[in-house]
A = this chain, B = another copy of it.
Amino acid sequence: MKEQIIHQKISVAVDVLIFTIEDEKLKIVLAKREAPPFEGVFALPGVSLRESETPEEAAERSVLERTGIRNIFLEQLHTFGRVDRDPRSRTISIAYCAVTSYRRLKDSGISGSAGLYPVSGILSGELPLAFDHREMTAHGREMLREKVNSGGIAFEFVPEEFTLPQLQKVYEILLGEKLYKANFRKMIAPMVEETGNMLTGQAHRPSRLYRKKKGETNE
């Protein structure tokens, strides 16, 4: 009852939104395109899906190429398939969200042409992107917001050891609102444990360092 498996002329791409927080702003990794279409326009890191790899592996490869980072937090976002999204040929793109701490991104070193750009500028249209990458960014932004509370995605933005004020900042940036210190701490308490270390060198009382308590899902 089904059509024959005639070979489709559809290409499959994998694009990755690599989120991080720098300078108290949510940013993503972009690279300027060096060839048409959209030559000179910023675009998300992406690769063409190989026959021998899964979409997730392709996403890892894309992250590795651009940032040198392995074992990054990665989650499938959505598959985008507008017919005219790529002017060259019919191409669908499986988009992934990745998250890393700014420290790790800086240590690995972003490869040459790539850089970090604020998400707000992309969504406002101030910084135009190639293809439907702005739409992808909007979806990714939304996914982060949803996952802050359920599932501790916030931990992916901070290093192994972090202070509670740092973590609270992450929540505030992702949610877009100021939180009450005392309440935030009560909420986060069951998910973290002290490392015993302190973060000194600030012009005020030092803060304790924590790590993510593993084993339990939240709540």
Contacts and interface: CB of A to CB of B under 8 A. Distances in A.
Chain A interface helix/strand/loop/mixed: loop
Interface residues of A, number: 33
A105 to B, nearest CB: 20
Contacts of A88: 5
Contact of A54 (B56, B83, B94): B83
B76 A54 contact: no
Interface stretch (A6-14, A182-190, A195-203, A211-219): A6-14
A83 B10 contact: no
A80 to B, nearest CB: 9
Interface string A1-38: 11101011111100000000000000000000011000
Interface in A59-80: 76, 78-79
Contact of A92 (B12, B82, B83): B12
A83 B58 CA distance: 12
Interface stretch (A45-53, A120-128, A153-161, A169-177): A45-53
A94 B76 contact: no
A145 interface: no
Contacts of A35: 2
Q: Which of A3, A48, A76: most chain B CB closer than 10 A?
A: A48
Contacts of A47: 2
A40 to B, nearest CB: 14
Contact of A81 (B48, B82, B89, B94): B94
Contacts of A49: 8, 10, 81, 92
